[in-house]
A and B are shown apart, each in its own frame.
Chain A
Amino acid sequence: MVAAPLTSVPAGSTAGAAAAAWLADLAGAPLPSRRQEDWRFTDLSPLLAIPTGIAAPSGGLPADPWRALSLPAGVERLDAQQAERALGTSLTACAAADHWPVRLNAGAAPATLVLRVDGDGGSLELPLAAPEGDGLVAWRLLLLLEPGARLELLQVPHAAPGHRQLLSLVTEVVLAEDARLNLGCLALGRDDCCLLNHLAVRQAPGSELLATTVSTGWSLARHEPRVLQEQGAARTRLRGLQRVEGRQLADTHSCVRFEGPEGELDQLHKAVAGGAGRSVFNGAVQVPRAAQRTNAAQMSRNLLLSDRARIDTKPELEIVADDVKCAHGATVSQLQREELFYLRSRGIDAGTAARLLQRAFCEEVLRELPSTARRHDPITALLGDV
């Protein structure tokens, strides 16, 4: 098929037009344009700078990236046939199956991993190391947590060194009654790589989700956590931290929907924007009439380190039920002068003082990542040595 004309492609850029056509062909739909509300602040042209084609070592098909993965007791890997009934249900429930990044992932024949957890699955780190080669790398995960099951899982998507890549990650989660999942995504990127990260979660009553996403360094990163509390009465905690420098762009579009009463949401999104970087946050919270006594709180906190950086943050609350608590807020600030002076008056140089304050800002989210994240030293990746 032929891609529709794109506002984001520089005129006369044939390589860009070819890349757009290739991506549109794979997804079966043209790239989103900034005329669409969901993509208004997000210029997708960095995607077009990635070489076309599926990244694979020396032209061959990538092998199963998880063949050597050792699973803790309580966690088993299902094959595609066993998982067929569950695959795609979270995406459909979250109205994301037709969403462009999800379509792109499906069109790229992603490496697929389905894990079923019964009982206490413990803690697991899931390496998502891209194979060598320029181009697109796609992974698809499905986590099925049986009633009362528990799991702590850290995803670490990682581009192959020296290769320009677009990483596409789609994660589906089904949490049965009283299941508890602590899901972390530590996405430490590179300036010549992009990341499209989609998460779709179905939560049954009594279940608890903590989903933390930390990203830095990507030319373009888009995070799309979507959660559906199918009958309410579940707990959802979302945490996000994104840092941009140079001309990077990081965008989080989250959506939490309550289809029954007494659901809880506690969401904190943070961004640090330096250079000419751009950070976007859009947090949708949907509380239809059936979702009485919902208790939702959303906060967006942003640190602006440069007068060329830009932050766009927007809550998007759709509340129909009348007996609910829905709090939201957003702050954009620079480093506080009095805090900086206090540190400097104790002999701490201005640069170190600024990094200490930035680190404190980031720690609030970093400490929510699964504990294994520490060994990746995320704070150094985010801010450099302090």
Chain B
Amino acid sequence: MIRPDAPTLLEIRDLRASVEDQPILKGVSLTIRAGEIHAVMGRNGSGKSTLSKVLAGHPAYTVTGGSVLYRGENLLELDPEQRARIGLFLGFQYPVEIPGVSNLEFLRVATNARRAERGEEELDTFAFEDLVRERLAVVQMDPAFLERSVNEGFSGGEKKRNEILQMALLEPVVAILDETDSGLDIDALRIVAGGVNQLAGPDNATLLITHYQRLLDLITPDHVHVMAAGRILRSGGKELALELERSGYDWVDQELARLGGEPERQPVEVA
């Protein structure tokens, strides 16, 4: 939902970042206002996952230039946990398995960290169980998953649903979902997309990072951006995603050549 008068939640200006001294982001600019859903599309290695990790504060990435303002505050000087507490959420492409840490306890500690920041009282185990059972409905998740270790032995679809469950509990202001559609069958995709749609509202914003159009059939973006070689090459409305679906990414190389930029590199895996 585009409202010209809506407050700006995230303002990324000429953001540059590198990993292991290799530049990945080479000047990304993007403004996200309340109520908006943005989609960033691009090939593997275009830098779109790096963008999400830099915004969340992953320690492996070094910001080498530019700025990010979150509701007017300098986001880049905050620790990852502080970013999460003030309302930034990253849905992981590969949610991490943590054997021995119960999912229920993890969700409770995380929820209480966010609540404390908002000046709300912490929930004890009983109050939290009531809340989590209510939010489970958002992603149609079996309560049995609460008793297991965080993501341990979860299928790909279960892990992604667990991410959206965390989003439902943390009620972020800006949610960045990194390839949330990857590895999902069509039923799981519908459930996950349904969850995202339920949680999107006039006061928050969502940044979808995806390779494919199919997620955007279920979640309608207000803005679509195509990333290549570490910057945003083109922005448009939802019709841009449909155009990509028809014509593929081949035009990207021509456009990059025309701009005289470097070609895309293979992504650097950060273990």
Contacts and interface: CB of A to CB of B under 8 A. Distances in A.
Interface of A: 337-339, 341-350, 352-353, 356-357, 359-361, 363-364
B56 interface: yes
5 contacts: A338-B96, A342-B96, A344-B79, A345-B57, A347-B110
B100 A364 contact: yes
SS class of chain A's interface: helix, strand, loop or mixed?
helix
Closest 7 CB pairs of A and B: A360-B100, A347-B113, A346-B110, A347-B84, A342-B96, A344-B80, A347-B85
A339 B57 CA distance: 14
A341 B149 CA distance: 17
Contacts of B56: 345
A341 B60 CA distance: 10
A367 B59 CA distance: 34
Contacts of B110: 343, 346-348
Given A357-B101, A364-B100, A346 B59 contact: no
A129 to B, nearest CB: 32
Contacts of B117: 347
Interface in B78-98: 79-81, 83-85, 90, 92, 95-96, 98
A379 B170 CA distance: 28
**What size tier do the contact residues of chain B reach?**
20 to 34
Interface of B: 56-60, 79-81, 83-85, 90, 92, 95-96, 98-101, 106, 109-110, 113-114, 117, 149, 166, 170, 271
A385 to B, nearest CB: 13
Contact of B81 (A337, A344, A356): A344
A196 B92 CA distance: 48
A355 to B, nearest CB: 11
Contacts of A357: 98, 101
A350 B59 CA distance: 12
Given A342-B92, A347-B170, A348-B109, 4 more contacts: A344-B81, A346-B113, A349-B81, A359-B101
A350 B109 CA distance: 13
Contacts of B83: 345
A341 B106 contact: no
Contacts of A345: 56-57, 80-81, 83-84, 90, 92
Nearest to B112: A347
B100 A363 contact: yes
A342 B109 contact: no
Contacts of A364: 100
A350 B100 contact: no
Contact of A346 (B57, B58, B60, B84): B84
A219 B99 CA distance: 31
B152 to A, nearest CB: 10
B109 A344 contact: no
A62 B101 CA distance: 45
Contact of A339 (B90, B96, B114): B96
B217 to A, nearest CB: 28
Nearest to B91: A345
Nearest to B87: A347
Q: Which residue among A343, A352, A357, A361 has the maximum number of chain B CB atoms within 10 Å of its CB?
A: A343
B57 A360 contact: no
Contact of A359 (B81, B84, B100, B149): B100
Nearest to A367: B100
A356 B109 contact: yes
B59 to A, nearest CB: 7
